[in-house]
Structure 1
Amino acid sequence: MSKTCPITISSWTLGDKCSFQERVSAAKAAGYEGLGLRAETYADALAEGLQDQDLLTILDQYDMRVTEVEYITQWADENRSYEQKYKEQVCFHMCDLFGVQYINCGLLETYPLDHTAQKLKELCRRAGKRRIALEPMPYSGVPTLAAAWEIVQASGCSNAGLLLDLWHWVRAQQPLDGRLLEEIPADRIVSLQIDDVLPRPYASSVLRDESMHDRLAPGTGCGRTADFVQMFRAKGVQPAVLGVEVISDALLQEGVPAAAQYTYACTRKVLEQAWPQLLEK
């Protein structure tokens, strides 16, 4: 495992059609140190007939760990559905089972600042000692870093922080010179995710479709992935993990092992240039 943070293949990078063992095996063979799971992919594993101990046994067999848990949504709804309440509890359970200290979350819906901050505060209280990493996404109710940080600050919760993804950063047209990070303490940036972007974005009305189907591997597009990584290194950020979230239909058509191998190779090239310390064992 890396001295600083595990290089982690995020759940979406390997899609939702493979078995748990196939997921773990592909990640390990590619060179990844950690594995991301969503509540849905955890449920898929249970639907295979596996129990929690089986999952831990498979991870041990491959000397792998689950290092990223996600994704809590609709947490600002005034009347949350039982499905969302249960999904939240599943994420808490996954953290306890796999020894993960934080959960990624996002919010597609738009609410006033005071409402959103209060609901984030309530979520953080339910999370207990676990950290909640809020992810800004340009097509969401939290579209930018500034919006996310304002909500985190207004919540007043020490266990609220930020998850920052290159794809969302670039599509929100945010600069890579570090200016936007000046007022944010480095330790409030919980986690980073890297990938890359196409030369031209989809139309704003379907931008989420690009995010969920047409991302590129780190360093293979126009997003300046190395500069993104260097920006956080210069800030002194120590992310819990570096997630590789390449959501790509085209890549998955090559197969799960190929997707894992290609994204890891691309990630390694970026880190060798931008943050080689993350590759140290």
Structure 2
Amino acid sequence: MEKKINTNSYPPITISSYTLGTEVLFRDRVKAAAKVGFDGIGLRAENYVDAKKEGLTDEDMLAILDEYKIKVTEVEYITQWGTKEDRTKQQQEKEQTIYHMAHLFNVKHINCGLMEKLSDEQIATALGELCDRAGDIMIGLEFMPYSGVPDLASAWRAVKACSRKNAMLICDTWHWARANQTFDMIKSVPADKIVSIQICDVHDRPYPKKILRDESMHDRLFPGEGYGDTVGFVRMLKEHGVCPRAIGVETISDPIVEKGIEYAAQGAFKSAKKVLDEAWPEVSEHLK
């Protein structure tokens, strides 16, 4: 596929890891994303470990990416960093794997979340420590309505209070809609503190609060095909002056994945392009 990307001119349109499912071979993931026109793919630590189990080396993965003229543009996901007790040996090893992935694939930010419900002071302290461990990599904190950082205001408080230059924010359509955020709320956050955005859509009614996370992890919709005003969400961020390092299409959906990797990739790309054509044409004009 003869397609070169220059991430200095526009944020790479990225197919997030979960959009294609959890049981996808590395080459198949790269091929499916490149075939429909994505600039980049997202990888979770689990995807990288699975690729290693396939027998692929770091050099093999880089060669496959080069073969399809595509990049890894999103790396995730660090959790369990709130307290020393949460940072188990296994979790620390995962964190180090993610740092390695970021350096290997030249990704300058890492997606992170915090499920544990802690005080603002604890979160700010722990976030600062996480940013210190990350070194020159930016930490993108993603608020999620069922998590310890449930909305934009709490995420921004943590980022501001930790006083680290590499502490950033991630805004996701699903979390934005289900946390009942309004577009004027973005005005309280400096545009340059939002490192990445993710787009999808939501059903007309949320799952019950006790199982809201199940909806997030299993039943999202393609961007612009639901009730979350994805176009308005993207336009809001554009008009605020956000220059994301990636625009991820994160449609986590069992029904979509069940239809196959090609269907998931094609649907994610076409729907995202339609949204961007309307909300941010300067970004979408390079897409096929």
Q: Can you list the C-alpha shifts for 1:25-74, whole angstroms capped at 9, x where unaligned?
A: 00011110000000011111111010100000100110010000000000
| Corresponding residue for residue 74 of structure 1 | 80
Matched, 1:50 2:56: yes
**Aligned positions of 1:1-281 closer than 5 A:** 1=5, 3-79=9-85, 80-176=87-183, 179-281=184-286
1:28 partner letter: A
Alpha-carbon offset, residue 200 of structure 1: 0.5
Alpha-carbon offset, residue 254 of structure 1: 0.9
SS in 2 for 1:107: coil
SS in 2 for 1:90: helix
Distance 1:141 1:119 in 2: 13
Alpha-carbon offset, residue 271 of structure 1: 0.5
SS in 1 for 2:139: strand
Distance 1:135 1:173 in 2: 15
Q: Can you list the C-alpha shifts for 1:147-191, whole angstroms capped at 9, x where unaligned?
A: 000000110101001011000000001113xx2121211100000
Contact map agreement 2:231 2:279 (CA 8 A) in 1: yes
SS in 2 for 1:164: strand
Alpha-carbon offset, residue 258 of structure 1: 1.1
Distance 2:283 2:48 in 1: 27
Alpha-carbon offset, residue 8 of structure 1: 0.2
Distance 2:237 2:108 in 1: 21
Distance 2:186 2:228 in 1: 18
SS in 2 for 1:190: strand
Q: Can you list the C-alpha shifts for 1:124-158, whole angstroms capped at 9, x where unaligned?
A: 00111100000000000000000000000110101
2:224 partner letter: G
Taking structure 2 as the reference length, the TM-score comes to 0.96
Q: Which runs of 5+ in 1 are unaligned?
A: none
Distance 2:124 2:24 in 1: 37
Distance 2:36 2:153 in 1: 35
Alpha-carbon offset, residue 236 of structure 1: 0.5
Q: Can you list the C-alpha shifts for 1:213-253, whole angstroms capped at 9, x where unaligned?
A: 00000000000000000000000000000000000000011
1:123 partner letter: L
CA RMSD of aligned residues (A): 0.8
Distance 2:249 2:186 in 1: 21
Taking structure 1 as the reference length, the TM-score comes to 0.98
SS in 1 for 2:24: coil
2:146 partner letter: Y
Distance 1:255 1:173 in 2: 32
How many residue pairs get aligned? The number is: 279
SS in 2 for 1:70: strand
2:171 partner letter: L
Alpha-carbon offset, residue 257 of structure 1: 1.1
